[in-house]
Structure 1
């Protein structure tokens, strides 16, 4: 599992959104690492992390798309826990944006003792409905069949980025497009299927009594501010903050504001 580990102090692990990789946190790192240790892994199959070993089959032409573990956020959570073991880190403040939030909730299910604080950015506890699941599975099949060049970024940027970013931050739009274009097609397909299969995590959040911060971009149309209020309401000890001028990738669109909110919450929560 590829990761970047920088800064010193109490550890903060940040899990990235789909369909990008850990570089989405680059803008936040310089501010955060002044006070905390920042660990940002690439989730399996995305960025520089491998997806896994292919399984030999009687259909060699399908071998590349069949891997040793079926798609699921629990498998990514196991990767995260293994990375914590590798780094000899007993527990962390765990943050996740979008898919990274789904993985963070899976870590909570598997090993709640490893999470002493939670930052959920532009994500939700609910599982996909049937229509959302079907859309993900269709996208996974297309990625395997056609690759992801062109269409994935075109289909993703308008939902991932807020109106302000798309009209006033061309360098951020270009950066996000580049990240999307660089993701391996097989990793994209696996991640879509993993998200489609994820369970509802409402009870997982209700059971977490540690400090939590829920962050949402004011222009997020995928998990909008009202949805973030619902997520915060599930957590017994949560604060909610809204970042103006940001969409679904709020930490990438407004990194300074995101970092300030996280560090201020960290100071308050002890």
Structure 2
């Protein structure tokens, strides 16, 4: 693990391998270890893979009294870390909230993106009902901690069948959620409630793009992936059978196969 002091926070990250830079952004409420299988494999196969904990997650700090973290703040953090690491253009990928951060980054810094991976995410702005739910959830997480949330959503993050048959994956996902600092999770939930609509900016994507989704995903269903596939010119859509919201962990081999092909075509 390495750390970088950026804009008042200490960012924890891993930087593995050499070659085409690939930056992978974790979702909520996880940390950079969700990408460990991909970082370990692709760093051995000619890529420089960077994974970082977002502010308020994992081992990255959150400024004192920070109550809300917008997707634009996360995107700026990625840009600053990329600057620190000497990255010009790079492949950028994210899952769930991480995918929305990727969309925000592309909208703000399109010239820095060499390729896009959007996994189990959605481009639409938050609904009024969704804003209320996220705000209420943020308040409860901040007051009570995140344990109740982790227990409640485990079988949506990982399909019930996979929780039963892949206990190591389920334990990893549960551990990431339970150890996420409540302050960071609550701040991100409040910021995500105000996320904009990325559908128009996706039509302007001019780089290779891979969209991945699990067939059992309840949070961001296949229809959301199909929408992004329709919006992004020349994009590739991969639907992973038997996975819910975490196909890179639930169906590691299948995910890595489509990602490897994408990276090969992006080089």
For the aligned residues, what is the CA RMSD? 1.3
Report if the CA contact (8 A) 2:39-2:51 is conserved.
Answer: no
Q: Does 1:196 align with 2:188?
A: no
Hey, what does 2:228 align to over in structure 1? 231
- Long gaps (5+) in structure 2: 1-10
**1:173 pairs with 170, 173, 180, which one?**
170
Q: Does 1:2 align with 2:36?
A: no
Q: Does 1:138 align with 2:149?
A: no
**1:129 pairs with 119, 127, 131, which one?**
127
- The Cα offsets for residues 30-83 of structure 1, whole Å up to 9 and x where unpaired, read as 22212211111111100111112x2xxxxxxxxxxx32x842100000000000
Q: Does 1:11 align with 2:21?
A: yes
Q: Match of 1:240, SS? A: strand
- The Cα offsets for residues 161-218 of structure 1, whole Å up to 9 and x where unpaired, read as 1233123111111111111110001001011112111101011111111110000112
Equivalent pairs counted in the alignment come to: 256
**2:83 pairs with 82, 85, 88, which one?**
85
- Long gaps (5+) in structure 1: 55-65
Q: Does 1:261 align with 2:255?
A: no
Hey, what does 1:110 align to over in structure 2? 108
Provide the TM-score with structure 2 as the length reference: 0.92
5 Å matches for 1:90-101?
Answer: 90-101=88-99
Report if the CA contact (8 A) 1:161-1:248 is conserved.
Answer: yes
Q: Match of 2:262, SS? A: helix
Q: 1-side partners of 2:93 and 2:260: how far apart? A: 12
Q: Match of 1:230, SS? A: helix
Q: Does 1:24 align with 2:34?
A: yes
Report if the CA contact (8 A) 1:162-1:246 is conserved.
Answer: yes
* CA 1:51–1:163: 2 relative to 1, 3 Å: same
Provide the TM-score with structure 1 as the length reference: 0.91
Report if the CA contact (8 A) 1:13-1:95 is conserved.
Answer: yes
